[in-house]
């Protein structure tokens, strides 16, 4: 037996959050020197399970064994001492932007390894960081500030930090989502080196199924908080097999779709590309009264496309026509003037002013309508507008004076949508509009969107929730790696078809 080999085994792992059973009696095991994929549709429990293993979900029940010995992984430090490291998909928040690459890689040693020393040997810090980067064949200047790095380079720095000391198992949460194809290949070379040269066991959480076949030895499929299959990756395993296993339960809030007449062409985009290379040659149409879906998994380019249409991302090439006329949406201000509306995915960061009251948020998108001829805001008109919208949208708030940050997530989302109603926009761009909301709020938002379509407005509905796309849209464009992989009529397609294209399938 290899004395350097290690094993982990999780038995009967369950965890509950308020109103949700995220994991239900899950068993999971693997050995070091193996590359394992953990896949599943959104909400399957992949990240939750891996956070338990990394000590970040302390409230679990069940047993965890490391090399056959029972362990309690109730905090990240314990997991680290056992050689379990995790690199989360939010790489920007995991680094210290104004520290150098060397300081970020050696941070744990700087904090815990000083042993009473009053001085730091910065030359030794840089030397040690350089050695680990060279060992991993990463070409990054250790003196660079972390804020100057690309997403791929930031990810590499986090991997270098993780394997700097003892690392038996490395968990990578959606590591390929923000990367280009070339960057993905570079990441794969690093991962293969970790396996072959250092004997590290690597766990991939990812939606990019075809890519996983290139790098993984085995995979675990999760659905609804349970493990439904473990498979070896071989020539007999096909993408369709995994897609079939991943399919979740039917959308619980599915309700009869309100059929409304589809009118004239509202928006036509041709060959849209952004400067960052996240959107590539996107061409599509949206008609008045139509709810057009943009569906793709994490990192597909949905959010970038929505922001590009609204002028929040810089356009490299392509044209946008609204009602048959070319329009300039080089900034959000211009987009609003052309009667475009965007409800962004990150509502607290970009969609609402959390420290301002409800009434102000509900008038912020068209404040001029509530001003006098001398440009003074008429608060009475703001309050009347807010009172009407709160009743119309079913926003649960003590009063329209309540600050938005004190509302629930679902009610914040209703405010983010509702602020555009007074603007009378022609096209509503909704990016993950039901993200993080409960069942009741989701139903209300769906009814609101159906109402917009019934009044002849065009709606672009971007979501990674395939069941929602099937429930509400008329047509759907499926995105994969920044491109449209398919255009489908919703009535004539299925969850399986969409997931097939969203994971890189090509019929």
pLDDT digits (tens, 9 = 90+) for 194-239: 999 889 999 998 877 777 888 999 999 998 889 999 999 887 888 7
Q: Residue 252: is its pLDDT beyond 90?
A: no
Q: Output the pLDDT for position 281.
A: 93
Q: Residue 251: is its pLDDT beyond 50?
A: no
Give the integer Cα–Cα distance in Å for 112 and 121.
15
Alpha helical stretches, state H, 146-266: 151-162, 181-198, 209-215, 239-246
How do beta strands 325-326 and 315-322 pair? antiparallel
Confidence bin at 492 (pLDDT 50/70/90)? very high
**Half-sphere exposure (Cβ direction) of 202: Cα atoms closer than 13 Å:** 29
In Å, how far are 305, 355, 468 from 351, measured between CA atoms?
16, 12, 21
Give the integer Cα–Cα distance in Å for 392 and 79.
49
447: which DSSP letter?
H
- Averaged pLDDT, 436-461: 81
CA dihedral 70, 71, 72, 75 (to 10 degrees): -170
Q: Output the pLDDT for position 110.
A: 73
Residue, of 345 and 69, whose pLDDT is higher: 69
The structure's pTM equals 0.62
Confirm if 494 and 466 have CB atoms less than 8 A apart: no
Q: Residue 182: is its pLDDT beyond 80?
A: no
Confirm if 210 and 197 have CB atoms less than 8 A apart: no
**Half-sphere exposure (Cβ direction) of 203: Cα atoms closer than 13 Å:** 30
Instruction: Describe the strand order of the beta sheet including 265-274 as a list of residue ranges.
Output: 282-287, 265-274, 315-322, 325-326
Residue 502 CB coordination number (10 Å): 25
Confidence bin at 345 (pLDDT 50/70/90)? confident
Q: Which residues are bridge partners to 69 per DSSP? A: 66
Confidence bin at 1 (pLDDT 50/70/90)? very low
Confidence bin at 489 (pLDDT 50/70/90)? very high
Q: Residue 366: is its pLDDT beyond 60?
A: yes
Mean pLDDT score across all residues of the chain? 86
Confidence bin at 111 (pLDDT 50/70/90)? low
Q: Which residues are bridge partners to 9 per DSSP? A: 29, 65
- Structural domains of the chain ordered from first start: 7-246 (3.40.50.300), 251-339+425-507 (3.40.50.300), 352-423 (no CATH)
Confidence bin at 51 (pLDDT 50/70/90)? very high
Q: Which residue has the tokens 């920044």?
A: 482
Q: Output the pLDDT for position 73.
A: 94
Share of the chain above pLDDT 70, in %: 92
Q: Output the pLDDT for position 440.
A: 60
Confidence bin at 18 (pLDDT 50/70/90)? low
- Averaged pLDDT, 404-423: 82
Give the integer Cα–Cα distance in Å for 157 and 44.
29
Confidence bin at 89 (pLDDT 50/70/90)? confident
If phi > 0 it is left, if psi is from -120 to 50 it is alpha, else beta; for residue 223 that is: beta
What secondary structure does DSSP assign to 415-444, as a single string?
HHHHTTGGGT-SEEEEESTTTT--HHHHHH
- Residue 227, both tokens: 């493990």
């Amino acid at each position: 037996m290899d004395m350097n080999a290690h094993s982990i085994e999780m038995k009967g792992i369950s965890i509950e959050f308020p109103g949700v059973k995220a994991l239900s009696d899950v068993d999971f095991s693997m050995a070091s020197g193996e590359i394992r994929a953990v896949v599943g549709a959104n909400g399957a429990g992949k990240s939750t399970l891996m956070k338990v293993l990394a000590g970040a979900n302390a409230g679990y029940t069940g047993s965890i064994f490391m090399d056959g010995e029972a362990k309690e992984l109730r905090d990240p430090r314990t997991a680290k001492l056992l050689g379990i490291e995790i690199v989360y998909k939010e790489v920007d928040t995991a680094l210290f932007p104004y520290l150098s690459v060397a300081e970020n890689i050696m941070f744990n040693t700087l904090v815990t390894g000083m042993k009473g020393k009053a001085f730091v040997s910065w030359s030794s810090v840089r030397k040690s960081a350089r050695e680990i980067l060279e060992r991993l064949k990463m070409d990054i200047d250790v003196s660079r500030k972390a804020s100057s790095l690309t997403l791929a380079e930031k990810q590499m720095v986090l991997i270098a930090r993780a394997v700097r000391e003892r690392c038996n198992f490395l968990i990578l949460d959606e590591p390929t989502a923000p990367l280009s194809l070339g960057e993905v290949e570079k990441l794969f070379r690093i991962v293969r080196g970790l396996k072959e040269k250092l004997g590290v066991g690597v766990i991939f959480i990812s939606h990019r199924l075809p890519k996983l076949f290139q790098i993984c030895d085995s995979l675990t499929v999760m659905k609804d908080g349970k493990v439904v299959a473990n498979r070896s990756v071989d020539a007999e395993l096909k993408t369709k097999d995994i897609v079939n296993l991943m399919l979740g339960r039917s959308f619980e809030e599915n309700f009869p779709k309100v059929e409304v007449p589809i009118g004239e062409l509202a928006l036509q985009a041709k060959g849209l590309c952004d400067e960052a290379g996240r959107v590539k040659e996107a061409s599509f149409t949206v008609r008045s009264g139509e709810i057009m879906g943009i569906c793709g998994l994490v990192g597909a380019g949905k959010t970038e496309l929505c922001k590009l249409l609204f002028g929040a991302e810089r356009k490299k090439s392509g044209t946008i026509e609204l009602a048959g006329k070319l329009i300039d949406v080089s900034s959000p201000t211009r987009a609003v003037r052309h009667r475009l509306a965007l409800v962004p995915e990150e509502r607290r960061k970009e969609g609402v002013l959390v420290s301002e009251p409800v009434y102000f948020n509900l008038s912020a998108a068209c404040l001029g309508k509530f001003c006098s001829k001398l440009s003074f805001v008429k608060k009475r008109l703001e309050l009347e507008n807010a009172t009407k919208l709160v009743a119309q949208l079913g926003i649960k708030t003590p009063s329209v004076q309540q600050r938005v940050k004190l509302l629930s997530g679902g009610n914040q989302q209703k405010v983010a949508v509702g602020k555009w109603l007074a603007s009378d926009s022609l096209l509503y761009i909704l990016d993950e509009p039901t993200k993080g909301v409960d069942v009741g709020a989701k139903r209300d938002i769906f009814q609101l969107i159906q109402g917009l379509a019934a009044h002849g407005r065009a709606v672009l509905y971007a979501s990674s929730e395939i069941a929602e796309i099937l429930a509400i849209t008329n047509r759907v464009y499926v995105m994969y790696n920044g491109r449209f992989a398919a255009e489908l009529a919703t009535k004539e397609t299925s969850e399986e078809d969409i997931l097939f294209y969203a994971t890189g399938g090509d019929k």
